[in-house]
Structures are given as structure tokens and as C-alpha cells.
Amino acid sequence: MNSMKRINRLVAASLILALSAGCSALRPKAAAQPAYYSLDSGNLEARSDATLPQTLPPTLPPTALTLIVNPPHAASGFDSQRILYVRTNHQLEYFAHSEWVDTPARMLAPLIVSAIERSGAYRAVVLTPSAAAGDLRLDSEIVRLQHEFGGQPLGQPSRVRFTLRAYLVDNSTRRVLAWREFDATESSPSEDPYGGVIAANRAVQKVLQQLAEFCAGAARQRK
């Protein structure tokens, strides 16, 4: 009798274990959490003064201009928090578990203001929306920001390409005074999303430096 009880207990325990294992197999696996990355100004601030645009004297004349900066727009496909990569021409793909903390356009806006402020060419650089009035307005558009894996010679690292189109507009007449397209390409230190983020930040800093020089030159011409 005791033997039968022990056998029954063993059978019951086996059934419980089997049912638990079955439920575990049916339970959906937890989705991998995405990693979030940012564009920032740390690289530019760490550079020596020799690499930055020439600054004007600290005390600007009363006639110094105020620049209004509109938040950048982004071309179709580049207005998402998802990080883009390209293996084949004209085909955009997204990393599955890596994202920007915000859209590149929104992250870029304060970086543009900081870069132009450091040039010292304007009395003030103001990001809209703002009640401040300005002499010039800067409009910009992200044409591309992508991690490119195709098209490099065998053995060469992938690269990130960043292209920004910018327009300087006279605020009183609404006339476009100058425009330029800035483009920078940086090799990725590793063949993964993090390497692309590092390269993207380097490319953005190059373009910001060129943009600051462009805006400073326009200010000097308006004197």
C-alpha cells in the first residue's frame, strides 16, 4: 500500500513538472530592450580653439545681428528615432534594437545654436519658438544621416554620412541671402550600431563647424 502511494506521488510530481515545462515553452519570450543613443556636442567642445571658427571680440557693436534658428526638418525616412543603415543603394533599413533618444532633427537643434554662439559672430542666437525678433533666420534640413555598409572596398570599415542643407534668410524681406549643403563622412570604429553612433557624432560635429563658419561669414558681410 505504501509503495502504491509513493508511486502515485511520483506520477503526480512528474505531471506537475511536465505541465510547468509546457507552460514555460508556451509563454512568449521577453522582447529585447532597445539601446538608446544621442547626438551631443561633447566632441566639439573638447577640440582646441584652433579648430573652431574665428571669434569676434567679446564686446560686439550695437549693430551686431541676432540670428533666429528654426528647428531643422528632415527628409522623408530620416525623421524617425530609428537608426538607419544602408547595404544597397536606395534601400533604407533600420537596426532592430538600437534607437536615437529623440529624432535627429530635434537633437540637432540645440547643437546648431551652441555651435553658432561659439563663433561669436552674433549678438544672440535664438531657437524658435521664441518671442525674440531677429535680423536673420536659419532654416535647415537633414538630407541624410545613415550608416553605410555597402560600396566600400573589401576590408574597409563601414561609414556614416551626414548631409545638412541650410538657408540664411533676411527676416524683414523673407529673401534667401545664401544657402549651402554640408556633407561629412566618418569611418565607423566598429561594425555595429554603437560604432555608427560614434561616427555619426563625429560627422555631425564636422558639419556644425562648417555651418558656424558659414553663418559667421554671412554676419560679417552684413556689416
Q: Give me the residue spans of the domains in the chain.
A: 38-221
Diameter of the chain by CA atoms?
107
In whole angstroms, what is the distance from residue 59 CA to residue 29 CA? 62
Give the residue-averaged pLDDT of 17-44. 66
Least confident of 11-15, 58-62, 129-133, 201-205: 11-15
Mean of per-residue pLDDT scores for the chain: 84
**Residues 77-130 pLDDT 10s:** 999 999 999 999 889 999 999 999 999 999 999 999 999 999 999 999 999 987
In whole angstroms, what is the distance from residue 220 CA to residue 136 CA? 12
**Residues 176-196 pLDDT 10s:** 999 999 999 999 999 999 999
Evaluate whether 121 touches 220 at the Cβ level (below 8 Å). yes
| CATH number 3.40.50.10610 given to 38-221 | yes
